[in-house]
Chain A
Amino acid sequence: MKKSVISFIAVMLVIVFLGVTAITGLYIPGGFSKPELAEDDTTQVRALIPAVTDSENGIRLGLDLVGGSSITYEAVLPEGYDHANLADDMKIAQSMIRQRLTNKGFTEATVALRDENRITVEIPEITNPEEAVQTLGTTAQLTFVDADGKEWLTGKDIERATAMYGKTNSSLGSSYYVQIEFTDEGVKKFSEATASIAARTDGTNVLGIIMDNSVISMPTVSSQLNEKTCVIEGGNFTNESANELADLINVGQMPFDLKQAELRSVGPQLGANAMRTSLIAGLIGIMLVCLFMLIVYRIPGLVACMALGFYIVIECIIFSWVRVNLSLPGIAGIILSIGMAVDANVVIFERIKEELRAGKTVKSAIDSGFKRAFSAILDSNVTTLIAAAVLLWKGTGTIVGFATTLGIGVLVSMFTALTITHFLLNRMVDFHIRNPKAYGA
C-alpha cells in the first residue's frame, strides 16, 4: 500500500514536471524558461526542450497560421535540355533565390527543392508578395566589373564555376577555392580585363563579381591572366562558402527560366483567427471527452483523463523537439488524434467491463482486459501508421505536417494507454477501490 502511494505520487509529479517543462521549456544555460538576452550578449542558449510557444526553437507555425506567402517556381526547360543536369541546376537556382532573399532582407524566408523541377520559397509575414514573385525568379545578371564600374565580362562568358579543394599556385597549404572556366570569348575578355586592372597602381586593382547589383566576391588582381581557367581564393573559404560562390557564379548562365507555378498567401488576421478558434475548440473538445469518459467509465474514466493529460504533455514536448511544422490541417490532425487517443482506453475499459460481468475480480479483470485488448490496439494502430507513413512519403507542404502530427499522435497514444493507463488502474486497485460498480460494470 505504502509503496503504491509513493509510486503513484511519483508518476503524478513526473507528469506535472513534464507539463511545466512543456509550457516553459528547458534551456541551457539558464534552466527553465527562455532567458532574455541583452542585445550585445552572444551567449548561445541551447534549447533542450523548447517551450511550446517558442516558434524560434520549437514548433514552427505554418504560413496559414501566422500569415505569409509561399511561392513555388517551376523550371521551364528549353528543348534539347540535358535532363542529367537538372538536379545540379536546381540547386544552383536555389542558391540564387536564397541570395536574393537575403539581399531583400527576408532573412526568415526558407527555400526548398520540391519534386524534381520545382522550388518553394516561404516568406512569413509578407501579405502582398507579387513584387517578390516577379523579382525572385528572374534570371540572374552576373557581371565582372572593375573599380570604376566598367563591365568586362558577363555570365555568358563563363563555362562553369566549381568549388575545389587543394593547393593552388600561390598557396602553401591546401584550402578551398573556386575555379572558373571561361568560354573562348571569355578567355579573351578576361585577359583584357586583368591587364587593365593589374596595371592600376592606386590600390583599386580589384575585380568585382556582381550579381543583381550586389557584390558577391571581390578578388584582388595582381597580374594579367591569359588562361582558360582562373582561381578565386578567399583565404577563409570553407567547403560551404566555396560551393555557394560557385553556385552563384553558375547562376549567370542558368539554362532555364523559372516560372511561378503556385502562390499561396494568407493575411495575418485570417491566420490568427484560425489559430484562436481551433485552440478554443480543442479545449472544449477535450473537456467534453473527459466528461464523457468520467460518466461512462467512472474510475477508469478518471484514469483515462489523467492519461490524456499525460498524452497531451508528451505530444507538446515531442512536437517542440522535432520542430513540427504546424499548419491548419496539422491542428485538426492533433485534435482528431486526441479523440482517437482515448480509443485505446475505450477498447481496454470495455474489455474490463466484460470481464467483470463474467464474474472476475477487479484485479484479474484489469489484467486480462489489457492482455486481450492488446492485439486489437496494435493492429488498428499499425494500419493508421501505414496511412501516416504514405502521406509522409508522398505528401507536400501542409500534408507532411498533418502526417507527422497524426503519426506521432498514434504512437504516443498507444504508449500512454499501455503504460500509464495500466499503471494508474493498478494503483486504483491498490487503493482498495474494488467495487465493480466503480469500474462501470
Chain B
Amino acid sequence: MNPKFPVLKNFKIFGIISVLLCAVGLVGLLALPFGVNLFNLDIDFAGGTEMEFNMKQTVTQDIQNEVGALFAETTGQSASSVTSAGDNNQQVLIRSKSIDSETRSKVIEAMKSKYSLTDDDLYANEDVSASVGNDLKAAAFICAIVAIILMMIYITFRFELTSGMAAVCCLVHDLLIMLSCYIIFQLPLNTNFIAAALTILGYSINASIIVFDRIRENLRAARKEPFEEIAERSVWQTMGRTINTTLTTLFTIGMIFILGVSSLKEFTLPLIIGILAGAYSSIFLSASLWNFFRKVFRKKHA
C-alpha cells in the first residue's frame, strides 16, 4: 500500500500541536474562577438584557451612538454595548445589565417613537437574571461531567480501562479546542454552546471507538504482534472511514454555516471546529494515548 507516515512513533509531535491548540481554551477556563473572563459570555450565562431592533436602514456608528444615548437617557444607566447586526447591518443590538420590565417597556417605546418602528420591528428582546445564568452554568457543568463518566464506564465495560482513559483524553482535547475557538473568535457563549459541546462529546467519542474497535479485533487475531504495531495498523485501516464520515458531516453542517442566519453561524462554527478536532484526535491521538496508558498501567502492575 501507499507509504505510511508512522502515527504512533510521532506521538510527541502531534501531542505538542494539540497542547498548543488546547492551551487558549484551558487558560480561559482556568482563569474564570479568578475573575478573569476571556470569553464573550452571553446573557445566558452572565445575566443581562439584550434587545434587537430592525432599523430599516444601515446602522452606522452615528446611529449606534444615538441609540446608546437614547438608552442611557431612558434607563439612567449606559448600555454595555450597542452594535449593528443582521445580514445587511440593518439591525441594532443593545446589551446591558439586566433591567426590569417597566424600564424595558420605556426603552421600546422610546425607540419606537424616535425611529417610527412598530412592535414587529422588535426582532428580539431577551432578559436573563443572574440566578438563571448561574443555574445554567451549573447544569452545563454537571451535564458534561455525568456524560463523560457514563461514557467512560461504558467503554471500560466494552474495552478496558486504559482505552476509556484515552477516549476521555481525546474528548477533553476536542472540547478544549472548541473553547479556544470561542475565545479566539469571541463567539457568544450561550445555551447553544452546551448543545454544541455535548454533540461533539458524542461525535468525537464515536471516532475514537471506531479506531479502538479495530484494535480490539486485530488484537484477537494476532496475539504475538506488539500492541504498538497493531494500533498503528488499525489507525490506517480506519483512516478511510474517519475522513469520509468527517466529510459527509461537514457537508451538511457546513452548508448551515454558509447559508444560515447569524445565530446559526455562531452555533455551527464551533461544531465544525469540534468535528475537525475530533477527526484529528481520533487519527493522531486516540491509539497513541491508549498505547501510552497501557504502558503506564502495565509497568505499575508488573
Contacts and interface: CB of A to CB of B under 8 A. Distances in A.
Interface of A: 64, 69, 72, 74, 115, 118, 127-131, 133-134, 259-270, 273-274, 277-278, 280-282, 284-286, 288-289, 292-293, 296, 328-329, 332-333, 335-336, 338-340, 342-343, 346-347, 350, 353-354, 372, 375-376, 379-388, 390-391, 393-399, 402-403, 406
A259 B130 CA distance: 13
B252 A335 contact: yes
B122 A265 contact: yes
Given A340-B249, A350-B244, A329 B267 contact: yes
8 contacts: A133-B101, A336-B249, A372-B217, A375-B213, A380-B209, A383-B154, A384-B203, A386-B154
A336 B131 contact: no
Given A335-B255, A395-B194, 18 more contacts: A128-B122, A262-B127, A263-B101, A263-B128, A264-B126, A268-B120, A274-B260, A333-B199, A339-B251, A340-B206, A346-B248, A380-B209, A384-B206, A386-B154, A390-B146, A390-B198, A394-B146, A398-B191
A343 B248 contact: yes
A128 B108 contact: yes
A253 to B, nearest CB: 24
Contacts of B122: 127-128, 265, 267
A267 B260 contact: no
Interface SS, A side = helix
A383 B268 contact: no
B148 to A, nearest CB: 9
Interface of B: 52, 54, 100-102, 104-105, 108, 119-129, 131-132, 135-136, 139, 142-143, 146-147, 150-151, 154-155, 158, 191-192, 194-195, 198-199, 201-203, 205-207, 209-210, 213-214, 216-217, 237-238, 240-241, 244-245, 247-256, 258-261, 263-264, 267-268, 271
Contacts of B121: 267
Given A285-B255, A346-B245, A406 B139 contact: no
A285 B203 CA distance: 18
Nearest to A334: B252
A380 B210 contact: yes
A282 B252 contact: yes
**Most chain-A Cβ atoms within 10 A of its Cβ — which of B101, B105, B119, B261?**
B101
A129 B125 contact: yes
Contacts of A127: 119-120, 122
A384 B104 CA distance: 42
B190 to A, nearest CB: 10
A342 B108 contact: no
Contacts of B129: 74, 259-262
Contacts of A388: 198, 202
Given A130-B105, A338-B252, A387-B147, A266 B132 contact: no
B182 to A, nearest CB: 16
Nearest to A382: B154
A349 to B, nearest CB: 9
A131 B199 contact: no
Contacts of A396: 136, 139
A332 B237 contact: no
A346 B251 contact: no
Given A127-B119, A274-B260, A342-B248, A399 B191 contact: yes
Contact of A260 (B101, B143, B151): B101
Contact of A383 (B206, B251, B259, B260): B206
6 nearest A-B residue pairs (beta carbon): A285-B252, A339-B249, A384-B202, A387-B202, A376-B213, A380-B206
A275 to B, nearest CB: 9
A328 B146 CA distance: 25
Nearest to A330: B195
Contact of A394 (B139, B150, B206): B139
Contacts of B155: 379, 383
Contact of A289 (B104, B119, B146, B252): B252
B256 A265 contact: no
Contact of B271 (A336, A346, A386): A336
Contacts of B126: 263-265
Contacts of A383: 151, 154-155, 202, 205-206, 209
Contact of B250 (A72, A74, A339, A386): A339
Contacts of A267: 54, 120-124
Contact of A328 (B54, B119, B124, B267): B267
A342 B245 contact: yes
Contacts of A329: 192, 195, 267
Contacts of B206: 340, 343, 380-381, 383-384
Nearest to A386: B150
A65 to B, nearest CB: 11
Nearest to A129: B125
Given A328-B267, A395-B143, A280 B259 contact: yes
